[in-house]
Amino acid sequence: MATLSYPYGGAQAKPAKRPALAEYFRWSIDHKIIGVQYMVTSLAFFVVAGALAMMIRWELLTPELDLMENGSNYNTLFTMHGTMMIFLWIVPVFAGFGNYLVPLMLGAKDMAFPWLNALAFWMIPPAGLLMLSGYFVGPAEAGWTSYPPLSSVYSPDGQTLWILSLHLLGLSSILGGINFIVTIKNMRPEGMGYFQMPLFVWAILATSIIVVMATPFLAGALTLLLLDRVAGTAFFDIEAGGDVLLWQNVFWFYSHPAVYIMVLPGMGILSEVLSVHSRKPVFGYRMIALSSMAIALIGFTVWAHHMFTSLNPSLRIPFMITSMIIAVPTGIKIFSWLGTIWLGKIRFTGAMLFGLGFLSMFVIGGITGVMLAAIPVDIHLHDTYFVVSHFHFVLFGGSVFAIYAGFYHWWPKITGRMMDERLARIHFALTYIGFLGTFFPMHMLGMLGMPRRVAVYDPQFQDMNTIVSVFGFVLGISTFIFLYNLVASTVSGKVAGSNPWRALTLEWMTSSPPPAYNFIGDPIPYEDPYGYGTEASKAYLDAMDGRFAPPSPPKAKPESGAPTTPMEPQPAGD
Amino acid sequence: MDFGKKSNSNSLLIPIIAGGIFIVLGGLAIGALTPSVFPDQASAESEQVDTLFRFLLVIGGAIFLLVQGLLLYSVLTFGKRDDDEEDGPTIHGNTTLELVWTAIPAVIVLILVIYSYQVWVDIREPNENETTITAVGARYAWTFGYEDAQGRTVADSQDVIRGALPDLHTYAGQHVVMSMQTQDVIHAFWIPEMRVKQDLLPGRTTEIRFTPIVPENGWDYTDEASGTQYNRYRVVCTELCGSGHGNMWANVYVHESEEAYLEILEREVFDPIINPPADPVIRGRQVIQNYPCSGCHVLSDVGWAGVTGPVLNGVGDRAATRVAGQTAEEYLYRSLHYPNEYLVPGYGALMPQFQPGDPAGANYMPTNDFYAIVSYLCTQTGSGESNCDLDNLRNVIDADNPDNPVTFGAGADATDVEATAEATAEMETTSEAEMTPEAEVTPAAEDTPEPDANIGVGS
């Protein structure tokens, strides 16, 4: 501790007092408790949905049905896998990060509506159980997209539970989204305009706007389907004048923007992680912030590219144009992140490795996305393994890599203990290799002619499917290294200190974990959340470190530039 | 060193040019891989689509190499030195650079949109002399309908003869228009080698066009009977349609010439219609294979091995025992026409309901086919003997469909027909040895409801 080591542990001698374990199992209106509740709950569903993915890959080792008793059982696997990964893992885990971090990053004591916040979280466990209880009555088996009439008259009762569960999850999302918007709008500290906010907060703001605008359409579609199933209506019944394309339009009007709900927070995490761990300001802050908004907006105009083989052919062109345009703001982000690490002093921490991994994998998902936007190409590739590969590059190579990066970056703040960096490197290596080996060959499978959602397939694809499955198992195993690291570090990790990464955003300007109501006094944000490399920022960080240093042995550098007034500790309680 | 490329232009110029060349060549090299990741090009459309894809792959490959290259370079170059605890340079951005990397992708996107649009318009363009082939998707099989090219008509009407097959036949150079309907859920028609795909939507008739060609590697198969060559592909369902989705595929035969194609259709489709066998059992065995039953049912006599529906082996023995008061022929007829009226325990009410009324409907089945199919199913017994009274069957069908009476074999001597039927029954007993194991399995298979209780028929 004599010289600066990285991570910069120890400014805080002991981890700050953690909330009692029981707090996490009951109704709490502390956003930090709720954030952890979100994260841990969604991690549990991540494991369940991941196990389903392993069963899918096991079944696909051979071209015949073997693991599963029949096709229906196989269909339930990918239906539950997809639905849970989306609605019970990626969406809520980002809500968890948002909950934990947004008030801290804004220097606020809590979210704007703490009680509503708790309500939004407590809808998730029952919704998850409702979804899983489908296994008692025959779970949903119409895919996560649940196109009628397969999902209306041809599905077992689990489909109804699926609808009710998604209804609850959607409502939870909307409540969370409203809360974030109000919090970000009203609770920024003095001196922090919109363009001084951390980019993670920008990402959550853009995400929340999408959530609040799009999720009601999911609720609408679900209600129609529910009524068709249980109340004898005929929205999707051709005989009675209904139309099956109604579902596809309304569903995708939500579910395409939902892709950005699942990716934008990850991009926010990435901006934080890349900047902090390469010790360099974010390159083109304003462009990254505004491109999030552009993506949110354009994202509403592209939904029908999911319907290139069902939509009336003459209506398809506009959606090809809008879908391709979205590549421009996405490209801006990728190049800006490359600009951020360029000439930096990169620390290859677990968080940074997954951040770099995100960049490397997400760009592949972006490229295949543009390919799929071209109608003639999509005609061939639609509903094949190419598409499966594409969206896993976006949602795993993008979102999940970002989530891992987020955990390695902020878990020390949450628990007060460092995660094991050696295990993190092993986790990264296995995840990166496992992921690439699982999903890259799927491109070829799709192009050569393997449709998605099949349990039996043309035997010519067996070799490649075997490769995919083996790498898939590697990917599955790698997850447990991460989970072990999370738990072990919480129990016995090195003490993290208040700011192990010497980051400039406000969540680090308090103890780890932060006390109830987050800050002692009102924290003063540094003028630029990414102003690394300046004397002033170093002085600010040193002064902040000083606030959490153990009182008796003074720090070994008393002379470093006189901290100016903003950094002075403030009396408690305003 | 500034991030911007303007400063130190001399020292930066060489690496930038070298990198540019590497990226362009790399993109071209990746694009050249296109044929190895696509199946044969078996349609005129596939050439255009693949060229577009190759263009996308060259650009995508170049972007891939650019990003991964910069990333790799950064990782190798900008790693923290052991003794260096300083921050990186405080660079907040570079407006010129940011404009460049906004404008260049925008231009690329514009080019891609225009090119894709042209290809899309082009492959949809109707051709002259198109042949319409109908496709009906039903869980979990395809049926393809053909109209007689010679324009022969059904007796006593102006309607051109139509017939159906479970396989799609076409020939190189034929301008095909698929006119497609579904009997139940959404399906999708995809022939990977043709690069065509279109969903089949309930309540709509959807279309897709393609023109088969001879792929570069020529013909794969030779028909031993006629000596003509053909290629065989698969049409697969790509929209999730239920438990048998993966099994829902059919063969596509691309024949070398129109003559070979017409010959096959004449033999398989039109001749049995124009010169129907006098024996309803033989006729029934023919026509039942033109309906999508094979997607679900097991019937070893015609080689069906569906995985999701009840077994039909030996159904003739069980038919009379199913519903009190119904004879075997009555039960089989009603199961075919009103499949939901009686359900075999453990199976859902999901079999398509065939209707004799509307020849244009996706579920059309003429009463003659009802008559022939039931006659045939009646012979699916342990002994091979028919368990039915065919005169009664005719009466049952006629009573139920007064507007569409059975005309099969009208005028023929009833005793002749019966004699033939018996002869056939004897012929078919030769296959009994093969059938027996199945027949033994059958009762168990039918009495134990499969957990996948999705597809059912009152068989």
Q: What is the ipTM of this complex?
A: 0.90
Phi/psi at B67 (nearest 5 deg)? -65, -50
Find chain B residues with C-beta within 8 A of A4's C-beta: 85
Cα(A313)–Cα(A309) distance, integer angstroms? 8
Find chain A residues with C-beta within 8 A of B298's C-beta: none
Task: Give me the residue from B88, B91, B241 closest to A150, CB to CB.
Answer: B241
Surface of A (158-177) touching B: CB under 8 A:
none
Q: Quick count: other Cβ atoms within 10 Å of Cβ A404?
A: 26
* Rounded average pLDDT over A171-184: 97
Find chain A residues with C-beta within 8 A of B190's C-beta: 383, 451
* Rounded average pLDDT over B59-80: 94
Q: What angle do CA A406, A41, A30 make, to 5 degrees?
A: 75
Instruction: Determine the pLDDT at residue B8.
Output: 52
Closest CA to B200 of A236, A245, A136, A210: A245
**Bridge partner list, B255:** B171, B230
**Which tops the pLDDT comparison, A280 or B5?**
A280
Phi/psi at B211 (nearest 5 deg)? -125, 105
Query: β-strand B221-222 against B304-305: which pairing, if any?
Result: unpaired
Alpha helices (H) in B184-295, listed in sequence order:
258-265, 271-274, 280-288
Find chain B residues with C-beta within 8 A of A332's C-beta: 98, 101-102, 105
Would the pLDDT of A565 be above 60?
no
* Rounded average pLDDT over A398-426: 96
Would the pLDDT of B150 be above 80?
yes
Find chain A residues with C-beta within 8 A of B70's C-beta: 338, 342
Q: Report the residue count for chain B.
A: 459
Instruction: Determine the pLDDT at residue B6.
Output: 46
Mind telling me how many Å the CA of B358 is from chain A's nearest CA?
Answer: 15
Fill in the DSSP letter of residue A306.
G
* Rounded average pLDDT over A523-539: 90
CB neighbour list of residue A153: distance below 8 Å, 6 or more residues apart: A228, A229, A237
Instruction: Determine the pLDDT at residue A37.
Output: 97
Instruction: Determine the pLDDT at residue A442.
Output: 96
Alpha helices (H) in A136-198, listed in sequence order:
158-186
Owner of token pair 């039953």: B293
> A107-124 burial, b for 16+ CB within 10 Å, e for fewer?
bbbbbbbbebbbbbbebb
> Is the alpha carbon torsion for B187, B456, A243, A145 positive or negative?
negative
Enter the tokens of residue A251.
Answer: 């569903």
Instruction: Determine the pLDDT at residue A431.
Output: 97
Cα(B50)–Cα(B53) distance, integer angstroms? 5
User: For helices A327-341 and A285-298, what crossing angle results, to 10°?
Assistant: 160
Would the pLDDT of B416 be above 60?
no
Surface of A (388-447) touching B: CB under 8 A:
443-444, 447
With CB atoms and an 8 Å threshold, state whether B37 touches A6. no
Enter the tokens of residue A326.
Answer: 């979205």
Closest CA to A502 of A8, A141, A3, A75: A8
In percent, the amount of chain B with pLDDT more than 70 equals 85
Task: Give me the residue from B81, B97, B185 closest to A149, CB to CB.
Answer: B185
Which amino acid would we find at residue A248?
Q
Element of type H or E holding A217: helix A199-230
ω into residue B15 within 30 of 0, thus cis? Answer: no
Say if residue A537 is exposed, middle or buried (CB neighbours under 10 Å; 0-12, 13-18, 19+). Answer: buried
Find chain B residues with C-beta within 8 A of A154's C-beta: 184-185, 242, 350, 454
Task: Give me the residue from A324, A367, A379 closest to B63, CB to CB.
Answer: A367
pLDDT tens-digit map of A435-491: 999 999 999 999 999 999 999 999 999 999 999 999 999 999 999 999 999 999 999
Q: Are B243 and A71 in contact (CB under 8 A)?
A: yes
Instruction: Determine the pLDDT at residue B111.
Output: 95
Instruction: Determine the pLDDT at residue B414.
Output: 40
Say if residue B401 is exposed, middle or buried (CB neighbours under 10 Å; 0-12, 13-18, 19+). Answer: middle
Give me Rg for the CA atoms of chain B. 31
pLDDT tens-digit map of A198-257: 999 999 999 999 999 999 999 999 999 999 999 999 999 988 899 999 999 999 999 999
With CB atoms and an 8 Å threshold, state whether A383 touches B238. yes
CB neighbour list of residue A20: distance below 8 Å, 6 or more residues apart: none
Residue A460 forms contact with B (CB below 8 Å): no
Surface of A (38-77) touching B: CB under 8 A:
65, 69-75
CB neighbour list of residue A456: distance below 8 Å, 6 or more residues apart: A63, A64, A65, A71, B246, B247
Instruction: Determine the pLDDT at residue B409.
Output: 73
Mind telling me how many Å the CA of A320 is from chain B's nearest CA?
Answer: 7
Mind telling me how many Å the CA of A519 is from chain B's nearest CA?
Answer: 27
Phi/psi at B61 (nearest 5 deg)? -65, -40
Alpha helices (H) in B206-349, listed in sequence order:
258-265, 271-274, 280-288, 315-322, 328-337
Q: Are B302 and B166 in contact (CB under 8 A)?
A: no
- DSSP for A100-149 reads HHHHHHTT-SS-S-HHHHHHHHHTHHHHHHHHHGGGGT-B--STTTT-TT
* Rounded average pLDDT over A271-286: 95
β strands within B141-194, DSSP E = 141-147, 162-165, 168-171, 175-182, 187-191
pLDDT tens-digit map of B257-311: 999 999 999 988 888 888 878 888 888 888 888 887 877 788 888 777 776 778 8
Shortest CA distance from A276: residue in chain B:
B87
Instruction: Determine the pLDDT at residue B253.
Output: 95
Closest CA to A174 of A126, A207, A127, A222: A207
Q: What is the dihedral of CA B217, B221, B224, B229, to 10 degrees?
A: -50
Surface of A (355-384) touching B: CB under 8 A:
356, 359-360, 363-364, 367-368, 370-371, 373-377, 379-380, 382-384
